Copies of this chain bind each other. A is one copy, B any other.
């Protein structure tokens, strides 16, 4: 169907998904680009393409290139977007020695997306987000997950301290005051890796709850590390130990 009117219900709905409160209310979010839309099978409510789109996806709706550009959140739009249902992840323990990632107050959308993508690559069993984390359905995070959003269970608005109490895992926090290196910690049993806020790290209350605090060695001159990088180093140390 070719949509011409900017006041069309579909156009209005897509526009409304720019705001988190509308995404939450509707349980919907926006995906853009050939690759991401291709990965979203099973989650798509409808797709919408620009008139000049020549990709392989058969869109439900088409609009003029001009209108498409106004709906798109990307600098070089590929001309295809999808409105998707948020995956519902009900927690189930699948593995006896799971690898979980607990994120506390991660604020940068790019970091969040990259951590989810890395956790997916590593075959982790789930990513758990504290209330203070950035919304994973904002366009920048969705884009930087590169589809991993659909591959790995993500649990939002969790109480990480409660999780540590109730799960049978060794909770390992990345902390500048950690007294061990990640390489001296056994991550082959059930493991949860905890990464804190970009500027402030893990909160004091959560640091006290953690079983082990590790410091990634920094023999050079940098004083700290990007949160996404710290997450990757710990996650892949677990992968290495489990090989």
User: A residues touching B (Cβ–Cβ < 8 Å)?
Assistant: 110, 114, 117-124, 144, 146-148, 151-152, 181, 183, 216-222, 224-226, 228-229, 232-233, 236-237, 239-240, 243
Contact = CB atoms under 8 A, between A and B. Distances in A.
A140 to B, nearest CB: 11
Contacts of A225: 117-118, 121
A114 B146 contact: no
Nearest to A239: B217
Given A181-B243, A183-B243, A225-B118, A123 B232 contact: no
A219 B122 contact: yes
Q: Name, among A119, A123, A226, the residue most crowded by chain B CB atoms within 10 Å (CB to CB).
A: A226
Given A118-B226, A229-B118, A220 B123 contact: yes
Nearest to A151: B221
A123 B224 CA distance: 12
Given A229-B229, A229-B232, A243-B183, A152 B220 contact: yes
